[in-house]
Amino acid sequence: MQHFDGVVANVSLLGDRSLEELFAVLPRHAAPGGSVLVQTLHPVLACADQPYREGWRQGSWAGFSPAFRDPAPWTFRTLASWLGLFQRHGLIVQELLEPMEPASGQPASVIFRATPLNTA
């Protein structure tokens, strides 16, 4: 089995079951001291005017060129559901960063840095 010092997902984890399946194998593939980095849209802003609860959402290419069509649906997760996902799969969140969008002062994204329970 191959081991990695780092696994990075940058705004690319859109599903529900596929995400659970990925997280189930991550701890086994992390080298000792390895990290899992996940950056995603900040849930507070990503929920827009919809309720702040986990579930499928319709995608959008608003702001992109007309060449972008048929946006994929995606699973919205609250901060608590993200933390639960890591915990269920033996990953300890060591750091949670919330980069701010300079013009609005609102969180643009959230970045989780986690390590497997056995290498924390």
> Splitting the chain (120 residues) into consecutive groups of 10 residues, what average pLDDT does each group show?
82 72 86 88 81 78 68 81 93 95 89 81
For the domain covering 4-119, report its CATH number.
Answer: 3.40.50.150
pLDDT of residue 99: 94
In angstroms, what CA-CA distances link 108 with 9, 11, 26, 81? 16, 12, 26, 18
Q: Per the confidence metrics, is the pTM higher than 0.75?
A: yes
pLDDT of residue 92: 94
Rounded to 10°, the helix 17-29/79-88 angle is 50
Domain residue ranges of the chain, discontinuous segments joined by +: 4-119
